[in-house]
A and B are shown apart, each in its own frame.
Chain A
Amino acid sequence: MSQSNIRPELQEELRSAIVEPLLPIEKKLIAWSLGIGLTLLVVLAAINHMFPPTP
């Protein structure tokens, strides 16, 4: 595909794309990622606080 063909198609595609609603699986992915991530961060921060690095 030549570069000159890509650009107009992509510009049009990005401008006028039909909105795809979030699927239940996507919502689960986002929610679980954030949930596990924030929980793990709290746990790691607690470990960090209890076991500070030894200089």
Chain B
Amino acid sequence: MSNATLTGLGPHTAAEPAARLNEAKSFNEDWLAVILGLAIFGLALAGLVRIDLIGWVVSTSVWSNLGQALGPVSKNYAAIGGIGALLATYVALTIVLSAGAAALKSDVKRFALAFTAVFWIAYASWIVGNYANFAAVTLADQQKFGITWSLKLTNEGAYIFALIVGLFIANFLPRFADAIKDAVRPELYIKIAIVILGGFIAVTASGKLSFASSLLLRGVAAIVEAYLIYWAVVYFIARKWLGFSREWSAPLAAGISICGISAAIAIGGAIRARPVVPALVSSLVLVFSVIELLILPFAAQTWLAHEPLVAGAWMGLAVKTDGAAVAAGGITESLILAKNAAEGIHYQPGWILGTAVTIKVFIDIFIGVWAFILGYIWTNHINVTRDAEKTRAREIWERFPKFIIGFVITFFVGLYLVLGTPADIASKVPPAIGEANTFRVIFFILTFFSIGVLSNFKALWREGLGKLAFVYFVSIFGFVIWVGLAISYIFFHGITPPLAS
């Protein structure tokens, strides 16, 4: 998985196709995300035997008095206070992620220094975003905090603050952005978060299993739409209407229609495109995902507040990187739950986010398959190559996003623990996973901030990518978003999450 930047060549994208495939085979960000996500999930489960290993992690509440903003997520660690929890979280994450950087053969000292800046700036943005005048939603909350107005962004709206701070750094402090780039890894952070999220979604779904499984069927429709419809239309637009070559059109169509960065790189590799092609496509994907992230959740709250699962599915179908799609799902859930709560309807949290995540994960699963299909067509029918360079079936596994394995593990383990264990154990599972979920929130914060730091709009313009950006704009805003909305409506219309007990 690459960390593409708008300078065109990120740390991992300069490799030739064979070398990129070698990276896919060897230890990479995906495997690191699996290990770290499972480790956090495993440590959280120690709570089932009354051992609280991660209750010290910092949690932020909506605040009007800064002294009350922070605290450890578990009362067992109340003695360390909010600042203690924040410091402990910073130290633990720095150590663990630096070890991960070492495993990825990155410069550990550079990473640790960069991560220090990333963590403190991102978390400070999160704290600011939780200020009551920004985040408080209901009149009762406003009265509780002694305020007379609020932007009502909810506490998860604070993610947008982290994103905006990142955007500011990218566009006005580019040298600082370059200095911290070693720790600006949105794909790594969101993949760790998604692995942890598997357990959270399992706990959410366990209470309504048949309902959850029927939602999975609808996820299959998302795969059909992304690969067979979106990709074909965007490829046709790029080739026929805008005259792009095959080398540019295939990764571009993959980036716009399937999953942004991962798909552009996978398809670029499969058709043996030059590395710079998917790298630049990835840059575009990131910028447009930011634009979608700033617009679509609020559009969903305005027009789809009474169709919450349509909104969740829409985020999974329309927003085209893992990080931005899952992030959009989280914000959309927060905004829609708040709006409904203000009307007296209290939906159970987790379903809207879970729908967005499930749709995105389903789409991700088949990247390797689509890369194999296109690679086969390209190496056998379009740019016919020697046998040694033809696409092989093993590339399906090599291009399969490994972090999904972690998501599946935490999902089924969580499901088993809630449904297949005695009641005294099962009852401890939700609070244990709740502590792991606090880490998920922190990785979301890091993701939002990192997405912002990678989105240098001026550099994109300087690259002369106007024509590529035009294809992207026309495809996303002229087709993908609206067809995604239509498909989401067809399959999720009238379905609402269970009510909170």
User: Using a CB–CB distance below 8 Å, which chain A residues touch chain B?
Assistant: 1, 3, 6-7, 10-11, 14-15, 17, 19-20, 22-23, 25-26, 29-30, 33-34, 36-38, 40-41, 44-45, 47-48, 51-55
Residue B77 lies at the interface, judged by CB distance under 8 Å to chain A: no
A7 to B232, CA, bound (A): 29
* Neighbouring B residues of A25 by C-beta, 8 Å: 377, 381-382
Of the candidates A3, A14, A38, A48, which one forms a contact with B217 in the assembled complex, judged by CB atoms under 8 Å apart?
Answer: A48
Q: Which of A20, A29, A45 contacts B490 (CB 8 A)?
A: A45
Q: For residue A55, which residues in chain B have a CB less than 8 angstroms away from its CB?
A: 208, 211, 495-496, 498
B221 in complex: contacting residue of A1, A3, A41, CB < 8 Å: A41
Shortest CB distance A4–B (Å) = 10
Which residues of chain B come closer than 8 Å to A52, judged between CB atoms? 214, 494-495
Dominant secondary structure of chain A at its interface with chain B = helix
Shortest CB-to-CB span from B379 to chain A, Å, is 12
| Of the residues B225, B229, B276, B491, contact of A6 by C-beta under 8 Å | B276
B→A interface (CB under 8 Å)? 7-9, 14, 208, 210-211, 214-215, 217-218, 220-221, 224-225, 227-229, 231-233, 235-236, 239-240, 243-246, 248, 276, 280, 377, 381-382, 462-465, 467-468, 487, 490-491, 494-496, 498
The verdict on A36 contacting B235 (CB below 8 Å), with A7-B463, A14-B467, A45-B490 known, is no
What 7 additional pairs, Cβ within 8 angstroms, besides A25-B382, A41-B225, A51-B214? A11-B463, A14-B464, A26-B382, A30-B236, A33-B228, A33-B229, A48-B217
If A14-B465, A34-B233, A37-B225 touch, does A44 touch B215 (CB 8 Å cutoff)? no
Q: Which of chain B's residues have a CB closer than 8 A to the CB of A7?
A: 8, 462-464
| Residue in contact with B210 in the complex, picked from A15, A30, A54, CB distance below 8 Å | A54
Closest to A44 in B: B221
Could you tell me the distance between the alpha carbons of A14 and B382 in the complex, rounded to whole angstroms?
21
The reply to whether A22 and B240 form a contact with Cβ atoms under 8 Å apart is yes
Q: Which of A1, A3, A30, A54 contacts B211 (CB 8 A)?
A: A54
Q: Is the CB of A53 within 8 A of B243?
A: no
Tell me whether A20 and B246 are in contact (CB under 8 A).
yes
Tell me whether B490 and A37 are in contact (CB under 8 A).
no
| Alpha-carbon distance between A11 and B463 when the two chains are bound, in angstroms | 7
Contact A3 B245, CB 8 Å, known A14-B468, A26-B239, A47-B217: no
Q: Which of A6, A48, A54 meets B8, CB within 8 Å?
A: A6
Cα(A54)–Cα(B215), bound, Å: 10
B145 CB to nearest chain A CB (Å): 35
List of A residues within 8 angstroms of B232 by Cβ? 29-30, 33-34, 37
B464:A22 contact, CB within 8 angstroms: no
Contact B218 A48 (CB under 8 A): yes
10 sampled A-B residue pairs with Cβ under 8 A: A6-B9, A10-B464, A14-B465, A15-B467, A29-B235, A33-B227, A34-B233, A44-B217, A53-B218, A55-B496
- The residue that B235 contacts in the complex, of A1, A17, A30, A41, with Cβ under 8 A, is A30
Instruction: Collect the chain B residues with CB atoms within 8 Å of residue A17's CB.
Output: 243-245
B7 CB contacts on chain A under 8 angstroms:
3
Verify B463–A10 contact, CB threshold 8 A: yes
**Which residues of chain B have C-beta atoms less than 8 A from A45's C-beta?**
221, 490-491
Cα A51 to Cα B494 in complex, Å, equals 13
Nearest CB of chain B from residue A39's CB, rounded to whole Å: 9
Contact partner, B245, options A20, A40, A47, A53, Cβ 8 Å = A20
Known: A55-B211, A55-B498. Is A34-B280 also a contact (CB below 8 A)?
no
Chain A residues whose CB sits within 8 angstroms of the CB of B245 once the complex forms: 17, 20
Q: In the bound complex, how far is the Cα of B229 from the Cα of A30, in angstroms?
A: 9
- A13 and B7 alpha carbons, distance in the complex (Å): 18
Minimum CB distance partner of A9 in chain B = B276
When distances are taken between beta carbons in the complex, the residues of chain A under 8 Å from B224 are 37, 40-41, 44
Q: For residue A37, which residues in chain B have a CB less than 8 angstroms away from its CB?
A: 224-225, 227-229, 232
What distance in Å separates the Cβ of B488 from its nearest Cβ neighbour in chain A? Answer: 12
B226 to A: closest C-beta gap in Å? 9
The 5 closest A-B pairs by CB, nearest first: A37-B228, A11-B464, A53-B214, A33-B232, A37-B229
- Residue of B7, B218, B232 with most partner-chain A CB within 10 A: B232
Query: Cβ of B276: which chain A residues have Cβ within 8 Å of it?
Result: 1, 6, 10
Chain B min CB distance to A27 (Å): 9
Which residue of chain B lies nearest to A24 when distances are taken between CB atoms in the complex?
A: B381
Given A3-B9, A53-B211, A41 contacting B468 (CB threshold 8 A): no
Which residues of the partner chain A approach B377 to less than 8 Å between Cβ atoms? 25, 29
Give, as a whole number of angstroms, the nearest-CB distance from B91 to chain A: 36
Identify the closest chain A residue to B216 (Cβ).
A53
